[in-house]
C-alpha cells in the first residue's frame, strides 16, 4: 500500500495493527488534514505548513483515541494535487483508502470538485465517513463563504476545538467488526503457555455452569494453543505448588483479586476477567484513567452506577451493595449513588463526579463506546466494575500490569488530580 511508518516505537503489548480500525484523513491540499491528525494525536506527528502539498506519501500513525481505543490514523496527500508527481500522489492517496474502516473528509469550508470527488469515492467504496469542516476559527476571516455542508462537524484543528466530537462521530460510524477485538486474551498468552483461572463458586455463581467471561477465556486459551487450569480460590495456592513452574498468566474473579495477588509470585502477570472484558468491550486505558476519579471522591459526591441490562438484583449485588460500600469507604462518608440500568440512553446528571459501568456483557462494543463518548463529552470520568473492584482491594496497579497503556493512563490521571 506504500504507507510510511512513523518513527513511533512499537507499543509492547499494545493492540496489533491488524486489530486496530484504520481511519484515513482525506481532503484537498491545505485543508488541515495533518493539523487535524496532530490535534487527534495530541502531539506533532505530521508536518503542518501553509505550503500546499506538504504531505506527499500516506503516513500511518498508531495511537490510542479515547474512547475508541487503539486505532491507526492515516494522513494523506491532497486529492487536488497537480502535475505528473501530483497525480502519482493522488493515486497513492486513493490506494491508501483501500481497506480503511472509516474516513474523515476534511474541508476548509469549500465544497467543490475535490470534496465531491472524495465523497463519491468513499461512498462507492462503502467507507463510512464524516465531513470535518476545519478552520472554523476563521469563519469570518479569509475563508470563502462557507457553503452549508450537511452534517459537517465544525472543528479548529489549530485550536483543538471540536476534536472530541470528531472522535465521537468515528465511534458512531465505525463498523462493529472494525472495532471488535475478538480474542479476549489477544497478545497475552504465548502459544503453548499456561493460564491459571481462579473462579469462586459463591452464591452468585450460576448452578452447573461457568459464566460467559470464564468460558470465553478458556476457549481463547485453547484457540491460541495454550492450556489453562481452572481452580477455586481455596485450592489456588496448593495448585501453584504442584506446578513445576509458574503460569504465564493468572486471571481471577474481581471479587477475589486481593487474595489471588497475595498467593501469586510477584513476577507473574495477573489480571481479572472483568478487566479482560473491559479491554474487549471498551477502551481499557480510558476506564483505568477513570478509576483515578474514585480516589478523589468526597462525602456527598454523586456517582452514577450504570448497567447494560436490568437483571434481578442478588443478595450481595455488586452494583447495588458492593460498589456503594466501596464508594463510601473511598470518599470517607456517604456518597449519592444514582443507578441506571438498561439499554436506553441515560442522561448523566450534571452534578455527577464519575460513572462506574458494568462489564457490558449484553451491550455491543459500539454501544459501550458511545456511552464512553457521552461521558467524555460531559468531562465525566468513567470506569467499570472490574477496575473499581481491583481499586477497592488496593491491587489495581497489579491487575493492570499486563496492560502497560492502561496502567500508564491510570497513573497519569492520578497525578493530574
Ligand atoms: N486558522 C486555522 N488554520 C489552520 C487550521 N488547521 C490547519 N490550519 C493551517 O492550514 C495550513 C495547512 O495545514 P495542514 O495541516 O498542513 O494541511 P494539509 O491538509 O495537511 O495540507 P497538505 O499536506 O499540504 O495537503 C497550515 O498553515 C495550518 O497552520 C485551523 O483549524 N485553523
Ligand atoms: Mg498534510
154 and 57 share one domain: yes
Is the C-alpha dihedral spanning 37, 39, 42, 47 positive or negative?
A: positive
Q: How many domains does the chain have?
A: 3
129 and 257 share one domain: no
Q: What pTM was computed for the model?
A: 0.62
DSSP of 116-169: HHHHHHHHHTT--EEEEE--GGGTTTTSPPPP--TTPEE-BTTTTBTHHHHHHH
Examine residue 187 and state whether it is found in any structural domain, yes or no. no
- What is the distance in A from the centroid of ligand 1 to the CA of 155? 12
Report the distance separating Cα 417 and Cα 412, nearest Å. 9
Give the mean pLDDT of 186-210: 88
166 and 231 share one domain: no
Asked if residue 28 has its Cβ within 6 Å of ligand 1, the reply is no
Check residues 397 and 68 and name the one with the higher pLDDT. 397
136 and 17 share one domain: yes
pLDDT attached to residue 45: 87
Per the structure block, which three cell numbers stand in for 6?
512513523
- What is the distance in A from the centroid of ligand 2 to the CA of 49? 7
pLDDT attached to residue 149: 65
Report the percent of the chain where pLDDT is more than 90. Answer: 55
- What is the distance in A from the centroid of ligand 2 to the CA of 127? 21
Q: Give the CA count within 13 Å in the CB-facing half-sphere of 146.
A: 21
Examine residue 33 and state whether it is found in any structural domain, yes or no. yes
The CATH number for 208's domain is 3.40.50.11420
Domain end residue (candidates: 121, 152, 179): 179
Is the C-alpha dihedral spanning 133, 137, 139, 144 positive or negative?
A: negative
253 and 302 share one domain: no
94 and 234 share one domain: no
pLDDT attached to residue 364: 66
Asked if residue 49 has its Cβ within 6 Å of ligand 1, the reply is yes
The atom number, within ligand 1, closest to the CA of 81 reads: 25
Asked if residue 97 has its Cβ within 6 Å of ligand 1, the reply is no
Give the model confidence (pLDDT) of 85-95 as tens digits.
888 888 888 87
267 and 336 share one domain: no
Ligand 1 pocket: which of 25, 27, 29, 35 to mutate (most atoms within 8 A of CB): 35
29 and 158 share one domain: yes
25 and 154 share one domain: yes
The CATH number for 367's domain is 3.40.50.11410
Q: Whose CA is nearest to atom 32 of ligand 1?
A: 135
Give the model confidence (pLDDT) of 104-147 as tens digits.
999 998 899 999 999 999 999 889 999 999 998 986 654 454 45
Nearest bound ligand to CA 59? 2
Give the model confidence (pLDDT) of 347-375 as tens digits.
899 999 999 999 877 776 767 877 898 89
Asked if residue 212 has its Cβ within 6 Å of ligand 1, the reply is no
179 pLDDT exceeds 80?
no
Domain end residue (candidates: 124, 156, 179): 179
Examine residue 184 and state whether it is found in any structural domain, yes or no. no
Give the model confidence (pLDDT) of 93-108 as tens digits.
887 887 788 999 999 9
The atom number, within ligand 1, closest to the CA of 56 reads: 23
Examine residue 308 and state whether it is found in any structural domain, yes or no. yes
Asked if residue 34 has its Cβ within 6 Å of ligand 1, the reply is yes
DSSP state of 282: S
Give the model confidence (pLDDT) of 233-278 as tens digits.
999 999 999 999 999 999 999 999 999 999 999 999 999 999 998 8
The CATH number for 171's domain is 3.40.50.300
Boundaries of domain holding 402: 282-416
Asked if residue 89 has its Cβ within 6 Å of ligand 1, the reply is no
270 and 292 share one domain: no
pLDDT attached to residue 284: 93
Cβ 200 vs Cβ 272: under 8 Å: no
Nearest bound ligand to CA 77? 1
Examine residue 354 and state whether it is found in any structural domain, yes or no. yes
The pLDDT-based confidence of 281 (bands split at 50, 70, 90) is: confident
Examine residue 109 and state whether it is found in any structural domain, yes or no. yes
The atom number, within ligand 1, closest to the CA of 38 reads: 15
351 and 377 share one domain: yes
Q: Cβ–Cβ contacts within 10 Å for residue 331, how many? A: 20
Domain end residue (candidates: 233, 253, 274): 274
Give the model confidence (pLDDT) of 316-334 as tens digits.
688 888 999 999 999 999 9
26 and 105 share one domain: yes
- What is the distance in A from the centroid of ligand 1 to the CA of 98? 24
Give the model confidence (pLDDT) of 8-46 as tens digits.
333 333 565 656 788 999 999 999 999 999 999 988 889
Amino acid at each position: 500500500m506504500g504507507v510510511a511508518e512513523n518513527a513511533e516505537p512499537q507499543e509492547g503489548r499494545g493492540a496489533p495493527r491488524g486489530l486496530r480500525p484504520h481511519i484515513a484523513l482525506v481532503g484537498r491540499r491545505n485543508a488541515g488534514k495533518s493539523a487535524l491528525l496532530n490535534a487527534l494525536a495530541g502531539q506533532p506527528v505530521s508536518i503542518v505548513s501553509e505550503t500546499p502539498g506538504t504531505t506527499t506519501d500516506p503516513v500511518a500513525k498508531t495511537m490510542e483515541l479515547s474512547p475508541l481505543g487503539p486505532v491507526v490514523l492515516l494522513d494523506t496527500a491532497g486529492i487536488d494535487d497537480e502535475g505528473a508527481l501530483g497525480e502519482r500522489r493522488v493515486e497513492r492517496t486513493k490506494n491508501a483508502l483501500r481497506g480503511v474502516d472509516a474516513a474523515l473528509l476534511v474541508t476548509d469550508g469549500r465544497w467543490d470538485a475535490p470534496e465531491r470527488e472524495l465523497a463519491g469515492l468513499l461512498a462507492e467504496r462503502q467507507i463510512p465517513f464524516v465531513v470535518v469542516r476545519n478552520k472554523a476559527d476563521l469563519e469570518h476571516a479569509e475563508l470563502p463563504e462557507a457553503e452549508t455542508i450537511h452534517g459537517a462537524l465544525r472543528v479548529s484543528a489549530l485550536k483543538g476545538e471540536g476534536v472530541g466530537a470528531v472522535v465521537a462521530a468515528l465511534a458512531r460510524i465505525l463498523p462493529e467488526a472494525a472495532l471488535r477485538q475478538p480474542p479476549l486474551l489477544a497478545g497475552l498468552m504465548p502459544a503453548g503457555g499456561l493460564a491459571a483461572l481462579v473462579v469462586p463458586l459463591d452464591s452468585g455463581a450460576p448452578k452447573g455452569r461457568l459464566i460467559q467471561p470464564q468460558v470465553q477465556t478458556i476457549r481463547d486459551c485453547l484457540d491460541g494453543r495454550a492450556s489453562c487450569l481452572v481452580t477455586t480460590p481455596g485450592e489456588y495456592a496448593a495448585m501453584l505448588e504442584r506446578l513445576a513452574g509458574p503460569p504465564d498468566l493468572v486471571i481471577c474473579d474481581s471479587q477475589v483479586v486481593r487474595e489471588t495477588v497475595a498467593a501469586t509470585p510477584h513476577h507473574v502477570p495477573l489480571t481479572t476477567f472483568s478487566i479482560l472484558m473491559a479491554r474487549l468491550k471498551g477502551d481499557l486505558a480510558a476506564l483505568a484513567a477513570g478509576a483515578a476519579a474514585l480516589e478523589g471522591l468526597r462525602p456527598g459526591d454523586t456517582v452514577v452506577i450504570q448497567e447494560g441490562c436490568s437483571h434481578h438484583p442478588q443478595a450481595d449485588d455488586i452494583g447495588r451493595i458492593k460498589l456503594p460500600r466501596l464508594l463510601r469507604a473511598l470518599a470517607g462518608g456517604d456518597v449519592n449513588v444514582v443507578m441506571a440500568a438498561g439499554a436506553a440512553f441515560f442522561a448523566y446528571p450534571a452534578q455527577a463526579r464519575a460513572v462506574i459501568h458494568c462489564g457490558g456483557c449484553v451491550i455491543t462494543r459500539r454501544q459501550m463506546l458511545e456511552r464512553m463518548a457521552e461521558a467524555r463529552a460531559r468531562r465525566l470520568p468513567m470506569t467499570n466494575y472490574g477496575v473499581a473492584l481491583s481499586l477497592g482491594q488496593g491491587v489495581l496497579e497489579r491487575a493492570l500490569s499486563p496492560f502497560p497503556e492502561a496502567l500508564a493512563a491510570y497513573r497519569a490521571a492520578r497525578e493530574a488530580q
